Structure 1
Amino acid sequence: MTTTKTFPRTTPSALDIDAGGVRAFVDALESTPGVEPHSLMLLRHGQVAAEGWWQPYAADRVHLLYSLSKSFTAAAVGIAVREGLIDLDATALSYFPELDVEITDERSRRIRVRHLLAMASGHREEALDRARAADPSNLVRGFLLTPPDEEPGTVFAYNQPCTYTLGAIVRRVSGGSLVDYLRPRLLDPLGVDDLAWRRDETGAELGFSGCYTTTDAVAKLGQLYLQRGVWEGERILDEDWVAAATTTQVENPAEENPDWSQGYGFQFWMARHGFRGDGAYGQFCVVLPEHDVVLAITGQSLDMQAVLDAAWQHLLPAVDRPSDTGADTALEARLASLGLPPVPGGRLPERLADVELRSRPDAILDAVTFTRDADGVRVTITDDGRSDSVPIGEGEWAIEGALAASAATQSDGTVLVALRFVETPHLLHLRVDLDAGTVGTKWKTEPLHDGPLTLRRPAA
């Protein structure tokens, strides 16, 4: 297999992929209710067959991965196993000897590292809230004080404290942060320049979520696993680790959607085809070993099963199907013109200038202010003592920093403003009533662990 830090670019037909199938996949992403794509990269044989970003998203921007972060945390564990710092069969408790006297439940004491990796701690359901209630300041302690319902290793439950504890173990054995550990061992070898992690109030990376990086980095992680842990001739992950991580470690037939009930590995889901890491609102790293294919996607999608359904319906049959250069050219033009629609409607009113609006009760923001200068209208949002501002595009997206904005006057006379937090999946709508002097706010998708003024790449 070809390996490289910067993926070579070529055409789908050169890789025996029908570009028409890729176009049909793009069309499906754009037309399926509950699906909003932000980026995609399709690799075969270690080369880019197709890639695109929906403006105002862009190739050089990081994107919040939500639970796809777990697969990066697991890679850190895998590297630490290779270095002899972590033993898969050691108990989680053994890495936190200061808790030994307090953790008296026998099942809690029997949770092993491999059980954490496989979401098989023995808890029947998500334990995050219970763990936080047990100890608001030490999630590992709170988790280990929350007794499992069953014997560890016997039942699957998607459980954030499992991954948080894995991150804590890496920090404990390495003496530094997760990112510090990954930088020379994974990120630099793969050529991943930009990766940052949201930290909790203790200064620890969340591990289970909060990782911000590029679509290219997601594709590289998938390619590393496709190459059985080897990158440019250098072994980063042991082959037996990759084999275990990407095969079923615990059955999960009770999961509702077909691509979520095929079994779970080490912070990877098994699927109807291949395996994948994924995160809330449509962050995907899909690996298809039989076809030597990796698919990386970001988005703001509520219907994540629909994204995979579209891949199986359109992309999968396109592999090893005859194509032609005409289809390649048409796809290239299609991908070059991708964009999320700006807010439709009429011109912004002249009086939308030097206006400070009252937030309606229970609003998401504390204050919204509009100002007008020679370049047009700018909106400033304030929440929890912090402010940010961005120009407003009319008929387009205006981008500044980590925000993009578009607005138009609606038929009822109100002004609709769309604010995109372009380092995350999220979109916030502002409904401005100038006559009443008020602004209403509504998320298209609710952020899971951030407020509007922290929806951006964390500082290093």
Structure 2
Amino acid sequence: MDLIGQVKAVDLMLKFLRGDMQRITPYPFVPMKPAFEPNAAFGLPTSTPEEEGVSSEYLRQFFEEMDACRGIHPHSVMVLRHGKLIAAGSWKPFTNSVPHMMFSLSKSVTCMAVGLAVDEGLFSLEDKIVSFFPEKAGRPHNRKIESVTVLHLLNMTSGANLNEFGSEVERDWLRAFFAADCAVEPGSGFDYNSMNSYILSAIVCRKSGQTLTEYLTPRLFEPLGIPPVHWDTCPAGIEKGGWGLYLRPIDMAKLGQLFLQKGKWEADGRLRTLIPEKWVEAATDTAVPTHRGGHTSHYGYQIWSFNAEEAYQYNGIFGQYVIVLPKQDMVLAITSGNQNLFSDGSSDLVERFFGDAAPAFSASALPRNVKELARLRRVTENLYAVRETAPLPEKPAEPAQGLLQRVFGKRAEKRNPPELPAAAELSAEALELEGRVYRLEKSFGSLMPLICAAVTNNFSGCVAQVGFSFREPGTLALTVWEEEKGGRNVLLAGLDGVPRRGMVSVNGEQYNVGATARLTRDEDGRLVVKVFVSFIESPSTRIFKFIFYRSATGALREETGVCDRVMMRLDEVPSVSVACQMLLGLFENDPAQGPAPWKRLGESIVQQKLSGRMSALTKPRARGVLLPPRESAGKPEEGPVQTATAEQCEKS
């Protein structure tokens, strides 16, 4: 990064630390992503595990352990063997039928585009990248940047200075990439940098005369039966290459199966070569040693090694995986919202169940096992992303219980009864909040999770008001108003553990969400409403925690007789601390671990701004005051609402 770029980067950091999210990047947000409609047409043959030589009991244990591992936060898993889908599960409200953010897994798809372009003679791996963009390279540069080739970009050995952090402070990414030069001699060693993949995307676009998506659609996506895909672009309209792609889990699995089949695919009734076999072999020859997240692994052409014989993976941050296991003739596709940046328990779990140390699967079909297949399906159909609100499983009825049920019509007892107030008490609390609207003090806590906002540059206004309604049985309707000219969204959240799905609009872009809620009391007896809003297309779940209480004194309490005050705390999974670690790490060219001085400074400043008593970056809080009844009954979204401040209420 050149001197000007470094100044811009420092300015971005200062805005971030001050909470000035609306102006954090030099270019405005422009809605790109369509409103994804669910598409359950998978287009792959299906089979039972036993028919493909795998035990249903074994797969059930795999899903149960995936679900039980607290650090993974899985969203979906698909298992293929012999090219057939034998097991699939999604953790509600996440679903296999809606595209999910791929993050760096996008790089592996960019690799496929490069392989096709090289095969078509558009360019070669030895070509110097400055030759593609003479107008951007400008005056003669240091020989380091002039010696960078396409191959250096592919295997992450360019040594380029401009990384993802630089893309946040520059409008012209191509010009900034060449101006930043290289820190080390190209080809001298591995240096992971998503801007390498962006330049590959730009080269394909320049040489083909099409966007990356247009180029890949007839050559790859359509033959594989992948619906039209969305890929975020830079300010110049070039797909980001290293991130920004959205795919359904089944589409991920198909891309893994394609490489397992050496680039061949049966389409339109005939076997076609979609990717040259020699390119598949070169791309998966993970020969470049790396050190990432404290682990030693190897890298190929935008593809990572996997700790099993002949295996490899497409890998995205927060737990997006396509793991190809040639020895087992299997492919696994996984999406998740993992707390760890670059390594997590899901890959370890896959290695244990399907790697070299796992039991060998049968080459021929196993005997049918209807009972275990049914148990597997019960498990995969009852997975929930939010454990705190998940429905409690029914305890199997004992013979005596079954007799009581038949004679007296009594229900079987549930395992682990919920630690919640009685139904009558819950009803009374809900009645007290019905129709209430609270205005919150200013902060930069928003409906949009910070990780989603940072990846898409979609920083919304802070939450200014919240309203509550329980008119629909078993459902909380939470209305969220953003500050000033911001929008209004109504979130339906299931109180019965079953997520309610819907759409929200943030700065004109539509997002699929699913939400659940829980009512309880804290240790001081105060009413607590906790709402979990999962952004289904992303790794993130926004968590609202509202703590209601009455003013110690004051006319407002005497007038309403209800909880006139609310404390709001915000959290998200993956946590904000993870996002800050990634951002601060990129600032120092080490995304695996943020530098301690910057990390401590960031935490101290952000904590001080968001919450006076908070000790963790992950839980900013804002206090609110109940609007007077006449205002609550109106339409506050149509204009400013006049209400007392927190200080005025305390003094009254």
TM-score (norm 2): 0.64
Match of 2:533 in 1: 419
CA offset digits 1:105-140 (Å, max 9, x no partner) = 1111111111111111124x873335665xx11112
CA offset digits 1:150-199 (Å, max 9, x no partner) = 22122111101101111111211222222111111111000001421222
Match of 1:314 among 338, 344, 353: 353
What are the equivalent positions in structure 2 for 1:172-211 lying under 5 Å apart? 172-211=206-245
Are the structure 2 counterparts of residues 393 and 222 from structure 1 closer, same or farther at C-alpha, using a change threshold of 3 Å?
same
Match of 1:363 in 2: 445
8 Å Cα contact 1:59-1:215 kept in structure 2: yes
CA offset digits 1:370-427 (Å, max 9, x no partner) = 2437425322334472443321210221111311111122322221111111111101
Q: Secondary structure at the match of 1:434?
A: strand
Task: Quote the Cα distance in structure 2 between the aligned partners of 1:428 and 1:287.
Answer: 32
Q: Secondary structure at the match of 2:118?
A: helix
Q: Does 1:305 align with 2:344?
A: yes
Match of 2:281 in 1: 243
Match of 1:406 in 2: 516
Q: Secondary structure at the match of 1:414?
A: strand
Which amino acid is the alignment partner of residue 568 of structure 2? V
CA offset digits 1:69-110 (Å, max 9, x no partner) = 111122121221122223111111111121343351111111
Q: Secondary structure at the match of 1:61?
A: coil
Which amino acid is the alignment partner of residue 263 of structure 1? H
8 Å Cα contact 1:108-1:148 kept in structure 2: yes
Task: Quote the Cα distance in structure 1 between the aligned partners of 2:210 and 2:487.
Answer: 30
Aligned residues: 440
Q: Does 1:265 align with 2:303?
A: no
8 Å Cα contact 1:131-1:146 kept in structure 2: no
8 Å Cα contact 2:94-2:514 kept in structure 1: no
8 Å Cα contact 2:137-2:179 kept in structure 1: no
Match of 1:433 in 2: 547
Computed over aligned residues only, the root mean square deviation of the Cα atoms, in angstroms, reads 2.4
What are the equivalent positions in structure 2 for 1:333-412 lying under 5 Å apart? 333-341=378-386, 343-344=388-389, 345=420, 347=426, 349-350=430-431, 351-359=433-441, 361-364=443-446, 365-372=462-469, 374-375=471-472, 376-383=475-482, 385-396=486-497, 397-401=499-503, 402-412=512-522
Match of 2:147 in 1: 110
Are the structure 2 counterparts of residues 368 and 84 from structure 1 closer, same or farther at C-alpha, using a change threshold of 3 Å?
farther
Q: Secondary structure at the match of 1:55?
A: coil
Task: Quote the Cα distance in structure 2 between the aligned partners of 1:306 and 1:297.
Answer: 12
Match of 2:323 in 1: 286
Q: Secondary structure at the match of 1:392?
A: strand
Are the structure 2 counterparts of residues 223 and 183 from structure 1 closer, same or farther at C-alpha, using a change threshold of 3 Å?
same
Are the structure 2 counterparts of residues 387 and 249 from structure 1 closer, same or farther at C-alpha, using a change threshold of 3 Å?
farther
Match of 1:155 in 2: 189
Task: Quote the Cα distance in structure 1 between the aligned partners of 2:168 and 2:534.
Answer: 31
Which stretch of structure 1 is more off in the superposition, 288-297 or 142-151? 142-151
CA offset digits 1:22-69 (Å, max 9, x no partner) = 222212211223111111111111011211111111221111111111
Task: Quote the Cα distance in structure 1 between the aligned partners of 2:345 and 2:274.
Answer: 33
Which stretch of structure 1 is more off in the superposition, 297-306 or 434-443? 434-443
Q: Secondary structure at the match of 1:70?
A: helix
Which amino acid is the alignment partner of residue 46 of structure 1? G
Q: Secondary structure at the match of 1:432?
A: strand
Which amino acid is the alignment partner of residue 346 of structure 2? V
Q: Secondary structure at the match of 1:79?
A: helix
Match of 1:234 among 272, 275, 300: 272
Task: Quote the Cα distance in structure 1 between the aligned partners of 2:254 and 2:109.
Answer: 11
Task: Quote the Cα distance in structure 2 between the aligned partners of 1:207 and 1:103.
Answer: 26
Are the structure 2 counterparts of residues 424 and 132 from structure 1 closer, same or farther at C-alpha, using a change threshold of 3 Å?
closer
8 Å Cα contact 1:215-1:297 kept in structure 2: yes
Task: Quote the Cα distance in structure 1 between the aligned partners of 2:467 and 2:388.
Answer: 17
Task: Quote the Cα distance in structure 1 between the aligned partners of 2:285 and 2:387.
Answer: 42
Q: Does 1:128 align with 2:164?
A: yes
Match of 1:12 in 2: 49
Which amino acid is the alignment partner of residue 434 of structure 1? F
Match of 1:38 among 62, 75, 85: 75
Structure index of larger Rg: 2
8 Å Cα contact 2:81-2:329 kept in structure 1: yes
8 Å Cα contact 2:319-2:344 kept in structure 1: no
TM-score (norm 1): 0.89
Unaligned runs of 5+ in 1: 451-460
Which amino acid is the alignment partner of residue 378 of structure 1? A
Q: Secondary structure at the match of 1:202?
A: coil
Task: Quote the Cα distance in structure 1 between the aligned partners of 2:547 and 2:293.
Answer: 42
Match of 1:214 among 243, 248, 268: 248
Are the structure 2 counterparts of residues 323 and 37 from structure 1 closer, same or farther at C-alpha, using a change threshold of 3 Å?
farther
Percentage of identical aligned residues: 29
Match of 2:198 in 1: 164
Unaligned runs of 5+ in 2: 1-41, 390-419, 447-461, 504-511, 550-564, 584-652
Match of 1:443 in 2: 572
Are the structure 2 counterparts of residues 416 and 183 from structure 1 closer, same or farther at C-alpha, using a change threshold of 3 Å?
same
- Pick 1 or 2: higher relative contact order, CA cutoff 8 A, min separation 6: 1
Match of 2:557 in 1: none
Task: Quote the Cα distance in structure 2 between the aligned partners of 1:287 and 1:21.
Answer: 19
Give the Å deviation of 1:205.
2.1
Which amino acid is the alignment partner of residue 243 of structure 1? E
| Aligned structure 1 segments of 4 or more residues deviating by more than 6 angstroms | 447-450
Task: Quote the Cα distance in structure 1 between the aligned partners of 2:541 and 2:164.
Answer: 26
Task: Quote the Cα distance in structure 2 between the aligned partners of 1:276 and 1:446.
Answer: 25
Which stretch of structure 1 is more off in the superposition, 334-343 or 263-272? 334-343
Task: Quote the Cα distance in structure 1 between the aligned partners of 2:496 and 2:387.
Answer: 6
Q: Secondary structure at the match of 1:349?
A: helix
Give the Å deviation of 1:362.
3.8
Give the Å deviation of 1:271.
1.6
